[in-house]
Structure 1
Amino acid sequence: MMLAAVLAVATAGVIGVLWKRSRSTTPDPSRCDRCGKARVLLDEESEDPHLDEGQRHEERLGTADYHVWWCGACEHGAVIRHAMTATSRRVTCEKCGHDAVDEVSQTLSPATHVQGGEFVVRISCGSCGHKQRFWRYTPRVRAS
Structure 2
Amino acid sequence: MPENSSLPRDELRATVEARRDLGPEYESALVESFLEKVDGAIQARVRAEVAAQTGHGPPPPGPHGVPQYGPPPQKQKQQGDGMIPIALGSLGIGIPLTAIAATQAGPAGLFLAWAGIVVVNIAAALGRRRSR
Please state which band the TM-score falls in when normalised by the shorter chain: under 0.3
Whose strand proportion is higher, 1 or 2? Answer: 1
TM-score after normalising by structure 1:
0.24
- Computing the radius of gyration over CA atoms, which structure comes out larger, 1 or 2? 1
